Amino acid sequence: MTTPTADQALIAPPGLAGVIVADTSIGQVRGREGFFHYRQHDATRLARDAAFEDVWHLMIAGDLPDSGTSTSWRAKIADAAVLDEALRGALIDVLRRTASEDPLVSLRTGISAYGALTGMRPLWDLGAADRTEDAIRVAAVVPWLVTSAYAIRAGREPMTPSSERGVVANYLQLMGVEDPSPAAVQSLSRYLCLTVDHGFNASTFTARVIASTGADLAACVVGAIGSLSGPLHGGAPSRALDALDAIGSADRAYDWAVAQLESGERVMGFGHAVYRGVDPRSELLKATAVQLGGPTVELAVQAEAEVIRALGERKPDRILRANVEYYAGVVMQECGVPREMFTPTFAVSRVIGWTAHILEQCEQRKIIRPDARYVGPPPA
């Protein structure tokens, strides 16, 4: 088969929608079916029944661990989250310098500094075992960086993770939630498991493009965080909760949605680029939110029905339902995560998917280098 020239190359649709750019064994989103999976496992079922650490092992090692492997794996990621005093102090200084910025700025700057201070080498120069070690180390430090940045912004000293708590309970405690309840830990764990990976989204693809150059693993994750900072990708949970604030009461939800649509504004928290009906992540998070209870949950459930009614009337050619962001903000708020930390919390889980994709991309040893169609004035 001959390779087409630039003039003969296929022209991809805007946003590369529907274009397959790589093979992967990490997971798949089947949007028309309202289903997605991590490797060979139903992702929604995993989020409901499995521990966050075990899902992490599945993504990086390729299988769910047995009890013995799970114990050693938890010890491994707990050790990776512990920093020596010199490194910890240097990173805290970086976080202090960015305390007034968006939390994702602190996170990506902290990851960049972590990579430099620990001497991370280009992935191109590393064997598979060393690449995996870097992947675990970077993902393990993200929860501490996120919570430390928040503590500094709140005028508190960053805390050190406890080796006696799991990742999720540690995260809530480091965020400032004293003695988080089992319900809060389970609910946040479900959210984190649901958002570990989701196909070739913008941040994941960004991470893979950078990995294809052979750059170090921290650089790949920094690029992914930069992509995540865009409001069309990672900013929707807080915006969906802002919408509930604007609605105020369920009897105003329909009129609010109509006004949004008539003004050409997006109804945040509804519709998805892949799912053409029910978002399975939203369904589990809705059930989780109802278990947690509270006024915000009641408003969210009632408002959802009214917003869907307005969308159905104004956009009858499209099936628009609540997406993962709609109930994500509700669940995180009920668990004690501040609104400004919703997207950084998303990064705590998605970094695991990013690192899994980075490791997979390294196996291909080929740079991602597409072409572009020139549409400017002809050269002189």
What integer pLDDT is reported at residue 270 of this predicted model? 83
Task: Tell me the pLDDT tens digit for each residue of 82-111.
Answer: 999 999 999 999 999 999 888 999 999 999
Task: Tell me the pLDDT tens digit for each residue of 31-66.
Answer: 888 899 999 999 999 999 999 999 999 999 999 999
Which of residues 235 and 320 earns the better pLDDT score? 320
**Has residue 312 got a pLDDT over 60?**
yes
Active-site residue (options: 53, 304, 306, 325): 325
**Has residue 5 got a pLDDT over 70?**
no
Which of residues 276 and 314 earns the better pLDDT score? 314
What integer pLDDT is reported at residue 169 of this predicted model? 97
Q: Is 240 exposed, middle or buried (0-12, 13-18, 19+ CB in 10 A)?
A: buried
Q: What is the mean pLDDT of the chain?
A: 92
Task: Tell me the pLDDT tens digit for each residue of 248-281.
Answer: 999 999 999 999 999 988 887 887 777 777 888 9
Task: Tell me the pLDDT tens digit for each residue of 115-167.
Answer: 999 999 999 999 999 999 999 999 999 999 999 999 999 999 999 998 889 99
The closest alpha carbon to 322, from 270, 250, 244, belongs to 270
% of the chain surpassing 70 pLDDT: 97
What integer pLDDT is reported at residue 377 of this predicted model? 96
Q: Which CATH number fits domain 43-181+194-229+341-362: 2.60.40.10, 3.90.320.10, 1.10.580.10, 3.40.980.10?
A: 1.10.580.10
- pTM, to two decimals: 0.92
Active-site residue (options: 272, 306, 334, 357): 272
The CATH 1.10.580.10 portion of the chain extends over 43-181+194-229+341-362
What integer pLDDT is reported at residue 1 of this predicted model? 43
**Has residue 8 got a pLDDT over 80?**
no
Q: What are phi and psi of 67, to 5 degrees?
A: -60, -40
**Has residue 231 got a pLDDT over 80?**
no
**Has residue 246 got a pLDDT over 80?**
yes
What integer pLDDT is reported at residue 143 of this predicted model? 98
C-alpha–C-alpha distance, residues 370 and 351, integer Å = 25
Task: Tell me the pLDDT tens digit for each residue of 179-207.
Answer: 999 999 999 999 999 999 999 999 999 99
Answer for the pair 92, 152: CB distance below 8 angstroms, yes or no: yes
Q: Which CATH number fits domain 236-334: 3.50.30.20, 3.90.1170.40, 1.20.1250.20, 1.10.230.10?
A: 1.10.230.10
The CATH 1.10.230.10 portion of the chain extends over 236-334
**Has residue 2 got a pLDDT over 70?**
no
**Has residue 238 got a pLDDT over 70?**
yes
The closest alpha carbon to 217, from 12, 320, 359, belongs to 359
What integer pLDDT is reported at residue 156 of this predicted model? 95
Active site residue 272: yes
